[in-house]
Amino acid sequence: MLKRITVVVFLLVAGLAQAQEGTVSPYSFYGIGTLKFKGTAENRAMGGISVYADSIHLSIQNPAGVAGLRLVNYSAGVSHKYETIKTEVESQKASTTSIDYLALGIPMGKFGASFGLIPLTSVGYNLRTQDAGITTTYQGSGGLNKAFFALAYQLTPKLSIGVDANYNFGNIENTAERREDNIQYGTSEFNKSDLLGFNFNIGAIYKTMINESLSLISSLTYTPETDLTSENTRVISTFLVLPSGAISARDERDINVGDTEFTFPSQYTVGLGIGKEKKWFIGGEYTNLKTSNLTNRSFDIDFVTFTDSSKFRVGGFYIPNYNAIGKYWNRVVYRGGVRFEETGININGEGINEFGISFGVGLPVGRLFSNINLGFEIGRRGTTDFGLVQENFFNTFISLSLNDRWFEKRYYD
């Protein structure tokens, strides 16, 4: 068992080095970046719904789902995003690959526990504007990560509750460089925010039979509002543009902007679904996120406001015959879903929305119901109207959901 724990810890540390990669969206400039974690690969293939929880997959979005685990579960997910970013006059293509989550779930009778690491938000952009001989370049990187520990308890055969505690940490860097034609010197402003703070989530899942074969599942999660600390740094400098095009800093000055606190918004999610055990399921969810309380870390932007965010998700799965012997594709889980999100970012009076259609499969591997989950999503964020940017994306995501038994009694002849 010690070897297994060592491997998991190594994976978490290795994943931390990659946790802040994963976007090229210009919209990641605002707030604390774009939301990176949208669920496990199994959830994302069903439009992102998390209302369904079973005994062989780890529930990360709703901590109550951990109470249903019957095997130790190792979960890890990665994704690749290919997107076209365009305005009314031009377009560019870009791609990113990143780790989505690393987690471990442990069943303990009526209790269940899990812990892991999630890159929660991501910042990554490189933009250039030109106007009247002045070229301005904007660059950003970083994001917010979440280390979590969840504990759940099965109150009754129908009702489970859970809570997770989260330590949020990370840093965000923004740089703006301004150059003017035929002038040797340019100016630069560098902002860095080191973020840290705690928050927690509570969740509940209720499951009941409505007849001999159909079950009804409802879920609820709630995240209270909390404050995160932002330790801010700002450096303003001038630089010399060399004949080769390289730059050489000449005068750097630290600006005291002070540390700030900003609100990590509250949110709640309600879900409802119906299905036949080990055969099919369809469900829907609604999430409300109080992003109207969100502010930028150390600077304000006049033409940007934050409004409350809403998310609507519908999805499900189908298994032809989970117990088919010798017919592999009959045991495969086929998933699909759709989602629509109001991101809460309002630029020049125009809300930025996101839409996605997803599908995927769960491929059985080995014994103990382990599986590889593969999914795809086609979607769009933003619009080219009103001088804004539209992102058309194609996501590929894959996860390992590996099950094992710990603490089992072994008998020898």
- Which tens digits make up the pLDDT trace of 23-40? 888 888 888 888 889 999
**Would you state the pLDDT for residue 199?**
93
Q: Which two tokens stand for residue 66?
A: 């951990």
**Would you state the pLDDT for residue 296?**
56
Domain assignments of the chain as residue spans, ordered by start? 2-404
Range with lowest mean pLDDT among 99-103, 118-122, 148-152, 250-254: 250-254
* Residue range 206-226: mean pLDDT, rounded: 95
Mention every residue, 6+ apart, whose C-beta is less than 8 A from residue 65: 50, 53, 58, 59, 152, 160, 162, 203, 205
**Would you state the pLDDT for residue 159?**
97
pLDDT tens-place string over residues 168-186: 999 999 998 888 887 878 8
If pLDDT is split at 50, 70 and 90, which confidence band does 323 have?
Answer: confident
Whether the pLDDT of residue 69 is over 90: the answer is: yes
What is the Cα–Cα distance from 346 to 349, expressed in whole angstroms?
Answer: 6
Q: Are strands 260-264 and 226-241 parallel, antiparallel or unpaired?
A: antiparallel
Q: Which two tokens stand for residue 258?
A: 């002070």
* Residue range 74-91: mean pLDDT, rounded: 92
Range with lowest mean pLDDT among 60-69, 116-125, 298-307, 330-339: 298-307
Give SS3 for 363.
Answer: strand
Contact 66, 59 (CB under 8 A): yes
Which residues lie across from 234 on neighbouring strands? 191, 255
DSSP string, 38-69: ---HHHHTTTT------SSS---SSGGGGGG-
Q: Which two tokens stand for residue 389?
A: 């940017």
**Would you state the pLDDT for residue 21?**
54
Which residues lie across from 74 on neighbouring strands? 104, 402
Which residues lie across from 330 on neighbouring strands? none
* Residue range 196-205: mean pLDDT, rounded: 95
CA gyration radius, the chain? 23
Contact 148, 134 (CB under 8 A): no
* Residue range 72-82: mean pLDDT, rounded: 94
- Nearest Cα to 315, choosing from 357, 283, 285, 274? 283
Which residues lie across from 270 on neighbouring strands? 220, 286
pLDDT tens-place string over residues 247-303: 777 788 888 888 888 788 899 999 999 999 999 999 999 999 998 877 655 556 677
Mention every residue, 6+ apart, whose C-beta is less than 8 A from residue 129: 135, 136, 138
Q: Which two tokens stand for residue 223?
A: 């995240």
| Residue that the structure tokens 């086929």 belong to | 334
Q: Which two tokens stand for residue 372?
A: 């590889």
What is the Cα–Cα distance from 188 to 259, expressed in whole angstroms?
Answer: 21
* Residue range 396-402: mean pLDDT, rounded: 95
Mention every residue, 6+ apart, whose C-beta is less than 8 A from residue 317: 46, 52, 280, 281, 333, 334, 335, 336, 362
Q: Which two tokens stand for residue 378?
A: 């086609």
Mean pLDDT of the chain: 87
> Which CATH number, 1.10.940.10, 1.10.1040.10, 1.10.760.10, 2.40.160.60, labels domain 2-404?
2.40.160.60
What is the Cα–Cα distance from 360 to 272, expressed in whole angstroms?
Answer: 21
Distances (CA, A) of 41 to 34, 77, 359, 374: 18, 7, 10, 7
**Would you state the pLDDT for residue 48?**
95
Which residues lie across from 121 on neighbouring strands? 35
pLDDT tens-place string over residues 363-382: 999 877 899 999 999 999 99
Contact 338, 311 (CB under 8 A): no
pTM value is 0.87
**Backbone dihedral angles phi then psi of residue 27, each to the nearest 5 degrees:** -70, -10
Q: If 0-12 CB within 10 Å is exposed, 13-18 middle and 19+ buried, where does residue 242 land?
A: exposed
Whether the pLDDT of residue 309 is over 70: the answer is: yes
